[in-house]
Amino acid sequence: VGAGVRALPSYDHLRGLMSRYTVEHLVGVDPAQFEARIRGFLSLDDAAIEQYRDPAVQRDLSIRFHWGHDHDFGSFALPGMMGDRHITLLATYIDRFDALPRDLRGKRVLDIGCWTGGTSLLLCAMGAQVVAVEEVKKYVDCLRYMKEAFDVPGLDPRNLSLYECVGQEFDDRFDYVLFAGVVYHVTDPVLAFRITFNDLVDGGLCLAETASNPSRRPLVMYEGPRRVLGGSSSAQNRTGWNWFVPSARALREMMEDVGFSDVRVEDAAVSRTFAVGRRGHHVDILRAGLSVRSIR
Ligand SMILES: C[S@@+](CC[C@H](N)C(=O)[O-])C[C@H]1O[C@@H](n2cnc3c(N)ncnc32)[C@H](O)[C@@H]1O
């Protein structure tokens, strides 16, 4: 899936949509003021705002602010730690999976783990109503600022864990759940997928993407927080901070076991896997061993 993704027909279209978020589209904020505020977020190095008891055992990216996805604001540009992934991800779901239309007017999307909001802004530019959830408060504050600055009424940034996306406000509410780059960061991927299943409408699609193990077996590798994969402590940009990394087959079986049907799984270039699953209709899940017994 990964190879040639920038040549996909929707890549340039989506890239063009991001020009909706350049300084000439600011509403009631002048460009210098906007840049100063964004650079203020970039200089944040703050564990207290996240209410951590012991910052020493917390993830660098939760304490020190790092920009997620490349963004050219016109008068200045920010490189993101995940590059143009917001564009390549959505182009893949549109062109390779035929799972997402280019026009999302009238559709509701839940974007889980939105970081600085690259995918959320892009989904809004495609016409969707987007609820963007992120467990790190400083990123949500930044995205909320951009929502106001660019006047994006369809965007609802929320400082929530995906595990809090339950109940009336979330159940049966979304046509799509974008669950990209998060599966391997969470402590209970089965419960996480079950929540995405519950949040969809019947017929809705879960668009998942994850780091993956190359095994052909249904294997889930433990890759706990002690494994640093890159970056340095001095720059506070170490990557890793994972829990469980599934193989493609484990991913498929996990999605089927929480209730999804028509699950399609495809490996991408470097140890990453895409998956799309449909909630045909709401079905129960095996209750034995569930970490949250009350989960719908
Ligand atoms: C690797 S980034 C992926 C960003 C984006 N979704 C993408 O695919 O490019 C993972 C993001 O998910 C957030 N995250 C991790 N676990 C989460 C959880 N349980 N609930 C909400 N956000 C979470 C992280 O803080 C981080 O911003």
Residues 224-273: tens digit of each pLDDT:
988 888 899 898 899 889 999 999 999 999 999 999 999 999 998 778 99
- pLDDT tens for 179-195 read 999 999 999 999 999 99
> Is residue 82 in contact with ligand 1, taking CB distance under 6 Å?
yes
The set of long-range contacts for 253-260, using a CB threshold of 8 Å and a minimum separation of 24, is 253/218, 254/189, 254/190, 254/193, 255/193, 255/206, 255/208, 257/190, 257/285, 257/286, 258/190, 258/193, 258/194, 258/197, 258/285, 259/194, 259/197, 259/283, 259/284, 259/285, 260/193, 260/197, 260/206
What is the Å distance from ligand 1's center to 278 Cα? 22
What is the Å distance from ligand 1's center to 59 Cα? 12
Question: Per-residue confidence at 222, pLDDT binned at 50, 70, 90?
Answer: very high
> Is residue 181 in contact with ligand 1, taking CB distance under 6 Å?
yes
> Is residue 123 in contact with ligand 1, taking CB distance under 6 Å?
no
- Max distance between CA atoms of the chain, in angstroms, equals 56
What is the Å distance from ligand 1's center to 11 Cα? 23
> Is residue 162 in contact with ligand 1, taking CB distance under 6 Å?
yes
What's the pLDDT at 103? 98
Query: Would you call 63 helix, strand, or coil by DSSP?
Result: helix
User: 49, 58, 135, 223: which to mutate for ligand 1, most atoms within 8 A of CB?
Assistant: 135
| Single pTM value for the model | 0.97
Q: Is the model's pLDDT at 207 over the cut of 80?
A: yes
> Is residue 133 in contact with ligand 1, taking CB distance under 6 Å?
yes
- pLDDT tens for 111-139 read 999 999 999 999 999 999 999 999 999 99
> Is residue 182 in contact with ligand 1, taking CB distance under 6 Å?
yes
Residue 90 per-residue DSSP state: H
Q: Is the model's pLDDT at 110 over the cut of 60?
A: yes
Q: Is the model's pLDDT at 158 over the cut of 90?
A: yes
What's the pLDDT at 254? 98
What's the pLDDT at 85? 96
> Is residue 132 in contact with ligand 1, taking CB distance under 6 Å?
no
Least confident among 2-16, 86-100, 174-188 = 2-16
Q: What is the mean predicted confidence (pLDDT) over 210-235?
A: 93
